[in-house]
């Protein structure tokens, strides 16, 4: 499966999977969701994220 919004770069955040090359790890986004944060509250708190980022992070977690 190909992920267009999840990037892994050894020079960014220690090579951990991040959202679109930003220093925002997928694990942090998944942690917010696991803590019962809603998509709306996440997008409000992190305006540089997009709904598609959240959806792809969930797909990535299910794939792994």
- pLDDT score at 37: 98
Give the pLDDT band of residue 1 (cuts 50, 70, 90): confident
Q: What is the pTM of this model?
A: 0.92
- Transcribe 1-64 into DSSP letters: ---SSEE--TTSGGG--EETTSS-BHHHHHHHHHTT--HHHHHHH-TT--HHHHHHHHHHHHH-
- pLDDT score at 64: 81
Tell me what the mean pLDDT of segment 18-30 comes to: 97
- pLDDT score at 21: 93
pLDDT in tens, 29-57: 999 999 999 999 999 999 999 999 999 99
């Amino acid at each position: 499966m190909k992920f267009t919004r999840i990037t892994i770069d050894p020079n960014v955040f220690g090579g951990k999977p991040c959202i679109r090359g930003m220093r925002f790890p997928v694990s942090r986004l998944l942690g917010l969701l696991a803590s019962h944060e809603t998509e709306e509250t996440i997008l409000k708190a992190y305006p540089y994220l997009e709904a598609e980022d959240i959806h792809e992070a969930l797909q990535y977690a299910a794939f792994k």
